[in-house]
């Protein structure tokens, strides 16, 4: 079942390119959830979760990518509207 990511936590909120530390959202029952980046990536690899974000009412899938240094991170499937769909999400509350 696809899970919507509606917020993120970054190590430096004001830096648009800073690393995402956690992703989060709201379950259908209204309960908030948060996962570390590592747990989210591991869950995708294990087939436990698929993630997406909603952009203008359209679903944009989240995938695992690798930096040029081999570090894994999450990003949205490229689209022509906004390449920073995941990074532009609001901060997850504590």
Is 55 domain-assigned?
yes
* Spatial separation of the C-alpha atoms in residues 35 and 52, rounded to whole Å: 14
The structural domain count of the chain equals: 1
pLDDT recorded at residue 6:
96
Phi, psi of 44 (to 5 degrees): -65, -45
pLDDT recorded at residue 1:
79
Is 82 domain-assigned?
no
Is 87 domain-assigned?
no
pLDDT at 75 over 60: yes
Is 92 domain-assigned?
no
Most confident of 38-42, 58-62, 69-73: 38-42
Decide: residue 55, CB within 10 A, 0-12 exposed, 13-18 middle, 19+ buried: middle
Is 60 domain-assigned?
yes
Enclosing domain of residue 65:
2-76
pLDDT at 34 over 90: yes
Is 50 domain-assigned?
yes
pLDDT recorded at residue 55:
82
pLDDT at 25 over 70: yes
Is 94 domain-assigned?
no
pTM (2 d.p.): 0.86
Which run of H or of E encompasses 37?
A: helix 37-45
pLDDT recorded at residue 40:
97
pLDDT at 19 over 70: yes
């Amino acid at each position: 079942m696809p899970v919507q990511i509606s917020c993120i936590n970054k190590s430096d909120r004001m830096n648009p390119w800073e690393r995402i530390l956690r992703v989060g959202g709201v379950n259908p029952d209204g309960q908030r959830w948060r996962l570390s980046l590592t747990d989210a990536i591991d869950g995708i690899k294990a087939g436990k979760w698929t993630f997406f974000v909603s952009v203008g009412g359209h679903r944009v899938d989240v995938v695992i990518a690798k930096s040029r240094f081999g570090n894994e991170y999450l990003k949205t499937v490229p689209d022509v509207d906004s390449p920073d769909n995941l990074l532009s999400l609001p901060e997850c509350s504590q």
